[in-house]
Amino acid sequence: MTNTTSSKPLSSWQQAWQSDLAWKFRHSPIAVVSLVITVLLVLSAVFAPLVAPYNPFDPGSLNLMNGFTAPLTPNAFTGDEFLLGTDDQGRDVFSTILYGMRISLFVGFAAVTLGLLIGVTLGLIAGYFGGWIDAVIMRIADVQLTFPSILVAMLIFGVAKGFTPVEYRDEVAIWVLVIAIGLSDWVQFARVVRGATLVEVNKEYVQAAKLIGRSAWSIIFGHILRNVLSPVLVIATISLALAIIAEATLSFLGAGAPPTQPSLGTLIRVGQGFLFSGEWWILLFPSVTLLSLALAVNLLGDWLRDALNPKLK
């Protein structure tokens, strides 16, 4: 991440540390705090089985008597204590959040990767070849851009659900989410990469590569790609925040992660049911986690955009 602005490839940490971007990073408290929060949340999600005190999906460790235990107060029947309380089935809320965040982050990262691969490839092709290829790709992008991406994701989810036999729907739901969200956000990548490619195509190094007879594909992926990557990084970060929110929204609406594999959105959907009966912790803690995650990644993306923007130097 730190070596994107420097003109020559950096070989050691020391050089990375001395780069412009790293300097800006060290002098922006918001960026440092956001990165720390993001890394902490990601690590605790990745190592959920080690961090979480319980495995909420192991029926053997569940005790229905522990249901609705408030945070940090011993349960009236069993005397067990839970950091963030338990839900209606006696699952430890802290553990379900860690496992839920795993699913949220997995869907987020996978969807952005999918959108990025499709968008960058199509953007490069459209920008390099131009002509009718460009026209077709960009028209499709325009059409899709007419609709909010959450709506596109919902439609893809609904259609994919129709394709899957009922008994497999829960199993593949996570992958359907990845595809739905990924296909709904490739347009941003394609537009930016196309714009950057149009600029690069006219530069001398591309002309030179053409003259010495290198193939179009090796020019595109060997030369142009690395020069259009810094805006892609910014969009990918902001897309990650959007993808996490999109996943949570879809799951909250009941068109996403199934109850057997609850993501943060599913947990909030479940928690909303207890809003009126006073069990606030089932709703509050997953919501706060989702908010911190989305906000931290968003702020990081915002900072990255400003830091990489040559106009603001």
Partner 1 sequence: MFSFLVRRFLQAGLVLLIVGFVAFSMFNFVGDPIDNMLGQEASQADIERLRSVLGLDQPFVVQYWKFLINALDGNFGISYRQGRPVAEIIAERAPATLELAAVSGLFAITGGIVLGIFTAIRREGFLANFIMTVSLIGVSLPTFLIGILLIYLFSVELDWLPSFGRGEVVDIGGWSTGFLTASGLKALILPSITLGLFQMTLIMRLVRSEMLEVLRQDYIRFARARGLSERAINFRHALKNTLVPVITVTGLQLGSIIAFAIITETVFQWPGVGLLFINAVQFVDIPVMAAYLILISVMFVAINLLVDVLYVAIDPRLRS
Residues of the shown chain interacting with partner 1 in the complex, contacts defined by CB under 8 A: 139, 142-143, 146-148, 150-151, 154-155, 157-159, 161-163, 241, 245, 248-249, 252-255, 268, 272, 275-276, 283, 287, 290-291, 294-295, 298-299, 302
CB 166 within 8 A of CB 131: no
Least Cβ distance, residue 108 to partner 1 (angstroms): 13
CB 95 within 8 A of CB 56: yes
* Nearer residue to partner 1 within complex by CB, 114 or 180: 180
The Cα 109–Cα 266 span in angstroms is: 18
* Nearer residue to partner 1 within complex by CB, 139 or 203: 139
* Nearer residue to partner 1 within complex by CB, 140 or 209: 140
- For residue 112 the two structure tokens come to 């952005």
The Cα 2–Cα 14 span in angstroms is: 11
Helices 280-308 and 264-272 pack at an angle, to 10 degrees, of 140
Least Cβ distance, residue 303 to partner 1 (angstroms): 12
| Tally: H helices and E strands in the chain | 15, 0
Least Cβ distance, residue 146 to partner 1 (angstroms): 5
Least Cβ distance, residue 60 to partner 1 (angstroms): 31
* Nearer residue to partner 1 within complex by CB, 152 or 192: 152
The Cα 100–Cα 71 span in angstroms is: 19
Angle at 184 between CA 180 and CA 186, to 5 degrees: 125
* Nearer residue to partner 1 within complex by CB, 207 or 260: 260
Least Cβ distance, residue 24 to partner 1 (angstroms): 19
Residue ranges with strand state E in 165-248:
none
Least Cβ distance, residue 297 to partner 1 (angstroms): 9
* Nearer residue to partner 1 within complex by CB, 241 or 308: 241
The Cα 186–Cα 193 span in angstroms is: 11
- Beta-bridge partners for 86: 92
